[in-house]
Structures are given as structure tokens and as C-alpha cells.
Amino acid sequence: MDIVYHKSMWLEPQCKHSVLTLDEFIETNKRIDTMQYRIKEMMENEKKQKEDLIFKVSAASHDLKTPLTVIQGNSELLLYSDLKDEQREYLSDIIVASDKISNYFNLLINYSKTFYDGKLEWQNYSVCEVIETIRQEIFFILKDKSIFKLENKIEKDRVINLNLNYVVRAISNIINNSLEYAKSNDKKIEMKVDYEDEKLIFTIWNNGSLFSQEVIDNCGKLFYRQNKDRNGDKSHYGIGLAFVKRVAELHGGELIISNSNYGAEVILSLGVA
């Protein structure tokens, strides 16, 4: 490119009859084409490897769910047997542990499905219908409905296209985290819904503990867990927010987390035009 620059920019006027060859331009263009092809090939290989990995993870989760169901079922039946206190305590630990593993597998399966589900579940809904479905799901999660406040800032109803199942599950993940991390003695969770630039925007805030900069920087990475969780609980697997981010990407939106008004704030935007 340096050769091309000097040949083109510093050509003397009296050399107008001289022949300027374009060999450098032609060679540069060929190399750019080759580079673009290699980049495209690398991206396709990376995508395929990721899809293969997700498929294997999903298959393994499905396979392990069957023996886990047997363990859970037999453990629950044994609780009705004549057991000593020590045996009952051991059995309770098995049930709790198997429930955690089952939840982990369910999260993995739900996340992996987003890479294979087609557009069959994408339908047109009114915004009011979407908000009401989400509100009902949130009230099902919350034991105390008084801690939750919903503000609908959408002035008129609209018809939008989305995967409602994914969106409801994503919002549920955020609400569950908000409920867990909100101030223990005075929990408050607020959700605002707005529509801007053909995007449906959910802003969910909870009082209490804040996001660290490490969490903000790594938000949505699969299996990411901060070394010290906000509440020290090790029951999180780094899948919940990864699922939320994946849902945002599928809908042409984004996931943003930040600290606001002495609390933690999560913004989920969805392109629904």
C-alpha cells in the first residue's frame, strides 16, 4: 500500500504520458479477498463448533435426566418408610442435591434449545397481552406481591412479533435474581415497560446489593460466576443471564446491567418490529 501511495500521490505532472501499472492494486485486492474468505471460514467453523458443543451438552443433560428422575422418585418414596432420624436426614440431603442437579440440567437444556428452535413459536401478540402474561408469571414467583411495582409506559397497544415463551422465561430469570438479591428486610422490585425505536424495553430494578464491575464486564457469559457472589450463595451456575442475553440477541436486542438508585438494574431490550 505504501508503494501504491507514492506512485499515485507523488506523480509529477510531466509524467502524464507515463504508464502507471495497477499491479499493486490488483495484488492488494486479491489478498483482501483471500483474507475475507479466511475470516468467513473461521467464523463458520467457530459457529459450527459452538453448535456442536451445545448439542452435546444438551444431549448429555437429557441422558442424565433419566437416572436423576429415578433417584428423585425413589428418594421421595423412601421418606414414607420407617427411618431413623439420621437416615431421614441423609435422605433429605439426597433430595435437595438431586433437585439442584435437576435445576441445573433444565437450565442447560433451555439454553441449548435456543440454538435449534426455529421460528414456529414466534407469533404476533399485542403488547398488552405480553405484559399481562409476564405479570401473571411474576406474581406466581413472588410470595409477597406488595414488594413488586409495575409501570407500563407504553401509550398505545401494538402488535409485536416474538417468542413469548423465551421472553417470559428470560424475565422470570431476572425477577428470581432480583428477589434473591433485594434487601432482605425490605425487598423492593420495580419493572418498567417501554417501547422505543421498534424495541420493547424491560427495565427491572431491585434495592439492596449492587453489581460489581467484574459482573458488569462479564454479564451474559455462559457458566460465568463471580468468585464471590453478591450474597455468597453458590447455587448459581452462570446460565440464567446467559439465557437472557441469548433471548435478547435472538430478538435483535441487548442485555445491559448496571447500578442505579442504590440498587441493581437490568435492561432487556427486544426488537419486535
Mean pLDDT for 247-255 is: 93
CATH label, 1-116, candidates 1.10.287.110, 1.10.287.130, 3.40.50.1980, 3.40.50.2300 = 1.10.287.130
Tens digit of each residue's pLDDT (9 = 90 or more) over 198-220: 899 999 999 987 888 888 888 87
Residue 177 DSSP SS3: helix
* Angstrom distance (rounded) from CA 17 to CA 9: 16
- Identity at 105, one-letter amino acid code: F
pLDDT at residue 235 is higher than 70: no
Tens digit of each residue's pLDDT (9 = 90 or more) over 140-181: 998 888 999 999 999 888 899 999 999 999 999 999 889 888
Residue 41 DSSP SS3: helix
What does pTM read for this prediction?
0.68
Tens digit of each residue's pLDDT (9 = 90 or more) over 115-143: 777 777 899 999 999 999 999 999 999 88
The more confidently predicted of residues 243 and 41 is 243
CATH label, 122-271, candidates 1.20.1110.10, 3.30.565.10, 3.40.190.10, 3.40.50.11890 = 3.30.565.10
Give 14's pLDDT tier (boundaries 50, 70, 90): very low
pLDDT at residue 10 is higher than 80: no
- DSSP annotation string for 19-35: ----HHHHHHHHHHHHH
% of the chain at pLDDT higher than 90: 30
Q: Which three cell numbers stand for residue 61?
A: 443433560
Domain boundaries, the chain: 1-116, 122-271
Residue carrying the nine cell digits 421460528: 119
Same CATH fold assignment for domains 1-116 and 122-271? no
